[in-house]
A and B are shown apart, each in its own frame.
Chain A
Amino acid sequence: MPSTGYLIAGVAVAGVITLALRALPFAALKPLRKSKFVQALGQWMPAGILIILAIVVFRDQITAAPGRVFPVLIATAVTVLVHLVTKRRALISIAAGTACYVLLLNLL
């Protein structure tokens, strides 16, 4: 087993880098707040970033277990449908999709 000192150093290195990546851009953008370009990016980015995250997470779920493509597809369809039907109540949609997936995996 790796030494305690090594484990602590590993966590510290990863923690400092993560924090820097989260904090420094805010500091760097501060003087640019008035910039039209930064404002445009701030307005355009959320929708696109969320779509990218959704597609990548969806892809990862399929590549993690290639034999489960159909459960993933069905549960995703259920999530989307429930979300539209319940007028976008996120909690219900997520619970329905997840319950569907858990049932498909454990009952089939």
Chain B
Amino acid sequence: MQHTDHGSPRRVGAAAGLRDSLGVGLGIFPLGIALGILVIQAGLPGWLAPALSIGIFAGSVELLLVSMLAAATPLVTIAATVFAVNFRHVFYAFSFPLGQVRRGLPRAYSVYAMIDEAYATYVLLPPDKLSSARIVTGQLAMQAYWVSGSLLGALIAAALPAPIEGFEFALVALFVVMAMDAIRGRRELPSAVLACLAVGASMLVAGENTLLVALIIYTVLLGLRFLLNKRRGTSAPDAATDSDLPQEDDRA
């Protein structure tokens, strides 16, 4: 581990982080613009757009907050809503590679900036390809796209009649791609099946809280899976086959 300020490992890591952020940025930046436009259209001051994306940095909640703040919703209601919508982040702690991030400020920032996109980007990479510089740079870039997008949106809200529609699809594409990358072999199949069961059941019963309920059901199912494995005497998750072979990729 080198800690020189312009040591090349760190610069390589930062460059990799920037590259990581590009695909995600394609979805984040237009959504930031949408946030800025929404703030102005709701009759709120322009500074609120960057204030939201720096003070909170959680896309869906910020979009929700715009209408809540415009309607002068009580702070207690805002608190409860934010708690419910963002509770899913609790589950990220089980698998986000925070141990790879240097202690102190970098690690604190990494926790603060742990949006869905950052989790999705870094949870799948093998540990030897991760570095503190890479993760933190990627997250910084993601927030830069978000903040600058919201600023731009606030600025152009008055000037433009309507921005080009459809860029928000990048978010769908991003998560579809991430999900595909997550299932690389037979090893992930049980998790995939349980996740589909969880999200299917959740969609039937949960209404607005689909995401949270699905995550809770999924966690319960994994708990059952653990107990079942334990009874069969195979409780230890097989970490030996980490070799990341893209064997069953060519299904197209």
Residues of A within 8 A of B (CB): 1-2, 4, 6-15, 17-19, 21-26, 28-29, 36-59, 61, 71-72, 75-76, 79-81, 83-85, 87-88, 90-91, 93-95, 97-98, 101-102, 104-106
Contacts and interface: CB of A to CB of B under 8 A. Distances in A.
Interface residues of B, number: 94
Interface in B133-187: 164-183
Contact of B56 (A14, A26, A38, A91): A14
A42 B48 contact: no
Interface in B201-252: 203, 210-211, 214-215, 218-219, 222-223, 225-226, 229, 235-237, 239, 246, 249-252
A contacts with B: majority SS: helix
A79 B176 contact: yes
Contacts of B73: 10
Contacts of A43: 95, 237, 239
A85 B178 CA distance: 15
Contact of A22 (B89, B168, B179, B192): B89
Nearest to B114: A22
Contact of A94 (B26, B215, B251): B26
B48 to A, nearest CB: 6
Contact of A76 (B170, B172, B188, B226): B172
B45 interface: yes
A61 B171 CA distance: 9
Contacts of B119: 49
A12 B188 CA distance: 39
Contacts of B174: 90, 94
Interface of B: 22-23, 26-27, 43-45, 48, 51-52, 55-58, 61, 65, 68-70, 72-73, 75, 78-79, 82-83, 86-87, 89-95, 98, 111-112, 114, 116, 119-120, 123-124, 164-183, 188, 190-192, 194-196, 198-199, 203, 210-211, 214-215, 218-219, 222-223, 225-226, 229, 235-237, 239, 246, 249-252
A54 B237 contact: no
A52 B182 contact: no
A98 B173 contact: yes
The 9 A-B residue pairs whose C-beta atoms are closest, nearest first, are A48-B195, A25-B93, A97-B173, A54-B179, A101-B169, A102-B166, A84-B252, A54-B175, A47-B182
Contacts of B252: 81, 84-85
A48 B192 contact: yes
A24 to B, nearest CB: 8
Contacts of A91: 22-23, 26
A50 B95 CA distance: 12
Contact of A51 (B52, B195, B219): B195
A15 B83 CA distance: 10
Contact of A102 (B95, B169, B235): B169
B44 A56 contact: no
5 contacts: A11-B65, A21-B89, A56-B199, A58-B176, A102-B164
Given A10-B65, A40-B235, A106-B166, A90 B86 contact: no
